[in-house]
Structure 1
Amino acid sequence: MIREARDGDWPRIWPIIRNVVTEQRTIPYDPAMTEDDAERMWMLPAPARVVVATRDDEVVGTANMYANRPGPGSHVASGTVMVASRARGMGVGRELTTDLVGWARGSGFAAVQFNAVVDTNVAAVRLYESLGFVTLGVAPGAFRHPSEGFVGLRIMWLDL
């Protein structure tokens, strides 16, 4: 189930973010970020939106969504999806991404742009492509993967 994040959800969201970021495999965020920094970055105020995916009242994933850029870029949505390690491969990422796309469409955005999809994150790339996203380009070597070395970051796009 996908629902709006509530004030009391942060203690259940933070471990997911901390784990995904410190793995350094899929998200280009600073692994040394503090919990306070993470909360400010993730829990964005309206008109942005933050959601959680729950299974049996356990938070197993989260996403935030927002205008990709202010002003002249505000007609394009963006967002970030993170799934708890114990829930990967169970469709949680698909549910969160589908919700993000539905929010963007319902909010009148013209497209969704993911700015930095790690090229070796094959599960995410396949998921996004299955939902109609295309890769606009790859910044070669823009992400330092802990075991693969320098790998590309994709810009992925979905016309709405």
Structure 2
Amino acid sequence: MRIREATGADWPAIWPIVEAVVRAGDTYTYPRDLDETFGQTLWMQSSPGVTLVAVDDDGRVVGTAKLGPNQMGPGSHVANASFMVAAEARGRGVGRALGEAVLARAREDGYRAMQFNAVVEANKAAVALWTALGFEVIGTAPEAFDHPREGLVGLHIMYRGL
């Protein structure tokens, strides 16, 4: 697997991943009826942000991440990132590889820390991965996410220094 910066030409391979994750409605606060145009606007970052793709040995995009400042101005030294992995590639280390790549890129880009603002409490795999990569839950907004199967669950704020 190779991780590289995404280009506009990658969008047709990224969109099906984004669309499937968003339609499932169990990990992101994006509207479940997100259309492709708005999805591309949300996911494909412009400077100082960056979008990455994980590409398998056959050249298929199997995951993607976006990285950028968590806030503007005096909060721009803290990064934020989001990750999506194709259903058929889950459990194969794609999320971990993207996480490690994003942390390295954030350090290279001069960020001092990384914060995730809305990790769905019921997304046990993500919480476990981010914890293993050094993040800690610094707060939880109770019942802030309407999960399609579990009802109202919390949204974690997760943080780590770089």
Deviation at 1:33, TM superposition (A): 1.3
For 2:8 and 2:73, locate their aligned partners in 1 and report how far apart those are by CA, in whole Å.
Answer: 29
* Aligned with 2:82 (options 51, 66, 80): 80
Q: Which residue of 2 aligns with 1:147?
A: 149
Matched, 1:23 2:31: no
What is the DSSP-based 3-state SS (H/G/I as helix, E as strand, rest coil) of the residue aligned with 1:108?
coil
Structure 2 alignment gaps of length 5 or more: none
* Aligned with 1:134 (options 136, 140, 152): 136
Q: CA RMSD in A?
A: 0.7
Matched, 1:66 2:38: no
Structure 1 alignment gaps of length 5 or more: none
Q: Which residue of 2 aligns with 1:118?
A: 120
What is the DSSP-based 3-state SS (H/G/I as helix, E as strand, rest coil) of the residue aligned with 2:61?
strand
Aligned length: 160
Q: Which residue of 2 aligns with 1:48?
A: 49
Residue type at the aligned position of 1:93: G
Task: Find runs of 4+ consecutive structure 1 residues off by over 4 angstroms.
Answer: none
TM-score under structure 2 length normalisation: 0.97
For 1:87 and 1:139, locate their aligned partners in 2 and report how far apart those are by CA, in whole Å.
Answer: 30
Identity of aligned residues (%): 49
Deviation at 1:132, TM superposition (A): 0.5
TM-score under structure 1 length normalisation: 0.98
For 1:27 and 1:61, locate their aligned partners in 2 and report how far apart those are by CA, in whole Å.
Answer: 15
Deviation at 1:79, TM superposition (A): 1.0
Deviation at 1:44, TM superposition (A): 1.2
